[in-house]
A and B are shown apart, each in its own frame.
Chain A
Amino acid sequence: MDQIITFIGENMQMIYILVLSVFVGIEVIGHVPSVLHTPLMSGANAIHGVVIVGAIIVMLNCEPDNYLSLSLGFVAVVLGTLNVVGGFVVTDRMLEMFKKK
Chain B
Amino acid sequence: MHFMITDYILEIAYLAASVTFVLGLKLMANPKTARKGNLIAAAGMCVAVAGTVFLYDDHHGHTSRESVKLILIALAIVIGTVIGWVTAKKVKMTAMPELVSLFNGMGGACAALIGLMEFHHNTGNISAVMTILAGMIIGSVSFAGSIIAFMKLNGTMSKPVRLPSYNLINNIFLLALFADAAWMIYSGTSSSLMLYLLFAAALLYGVLFVIPIGGADMPVVISLLNSFTGLAAAFGGFLYHNQVMLTGGILVGSAGTLLTIVMCKAMNRSLSNVIFGAFGEGSAKAAGGAAAAKGSTKDIGATDVAVLMNYSKKVVLVPGYGLAVAQAQHVIHELEMLLEERGVEVKYAIHPVAGRMPGHMNVLLAEANVDYGKLVEMDEINPEFENTDVVLIVGANDVVNPAAKSNPASPIYGMPILEVDKAKNIIMNKRSMSAGYAGIDNDLFYNPKTSMFFGDAKKALTDLVSELKTL
Taking Cβ atoms with an 8 Å cutoff, the residues of A that contact B are 3-4, 6-7, 11, 14, 17-18, 21-26, 28-62, 64, 69-70, 72-101
Residues 4-29 of B, flagged 1 when their CB comes within 8 A of A and 0 if not, give: 00000000000001000110111011
Contact B226 A4 (CB under 8 A): no
| Interface flag for B39 (CB, 8 Å) | yes
Contact B248 A47 (CB under 8 A): yes
Contact A48 B249 (CB under 8 A): yes
Known: A48-B230, A83-B107, A86-B88. A76 touches B114 (CB 8 A): yes
Tell me which residues from 230 to 281 in chain B have a Cβ below 8 Å from any Cβ of chain A.
230, 232-234, 236-256, 258-259, 262-263, 266
Partner of B372, one of A53, A94, A98: A98
Partner of A18, one of B250, B256, B363: B250
Interface size grouping (class) on chain B: 35 or more
Q: Provide the main secondary structure of the chain A interface.
A: helix
Taking Cβ atoms with an 8 Å cutoff, the residues of B that contact A are 17, 21-22, 24-26, 28-32, 34-35, 37-39, 41-42, 45, 48-49, 52-53, 56, 58, 62-66, 68-69, 72-73, 75-77, 79-81, 83-85, 87-89, 91, 96-97, 99-100, 102-104, 106-107, 109-111, 113-114, 116-118, 121, 125-127, 130, 139, 222-223, 226, 229-230, 232-234, 236-256, 258-259, 262-263, 266, 350, 352, 357-360, 362-363, 366-367, 369, 371-372, 375, 377
Q: Provide the main secondary structure of the chain B interface.
A: helix
Partner of A48, one of B26, B79, B252, B366: B252
- Give bound CA distance, A21 to B256, whole Å: 13
Contact A3 B87 (CB under 8 A): no
Known: A39-B363, A79-B109, A85-B88. A59 touches B250 (CB 8 A): no
- Give bound CA distance, A47 to B104, whole Å: 10
Residues of the A chain whose Cβ atoms lie less than 8 Å from the Cβ of B30? 36
- Could you write out 20 A-B pairs with CB less than 8 Å apart? A11-B241, A30-B258, A38-B97, A41-B222, A44-B251, A44-B252, A45-B103, A48-B252, A54-B237, A61-B121, A64-B68, A69-B117, A74-B76, A76-B110, A77-B80, A81-B76, A82-B103, A83-B107, A86-B102, A90-B88
Residues of the B chain whose Cβ atoms lie less than 8 Å from the Cβ of A83? 84, 103-104, 106-107, 110
Partner of B360, one of A7, A38, A46: A38
Contact B28 A58 (CB under 8 A): no
Residues of the B chain whose Cβ atoms lie less than 8 Å from the Cβ of A17? 243, 246-247, 250
Contacts A18-B250, A58-B114, A89-B88 supplied; 20 other A-B pairs, CB < 8 Å? A3-B127, A29-B29, A29-B255, A29-B258, A34-B352, A46-B38, A50-B249, A51-B236, A51-B245, A53-B244, A60-B65, A60-B69, A64-B64, A69-B117, A73-B117, A75-B113, A89-B89, A92-B42, A93-B88, A94-B96
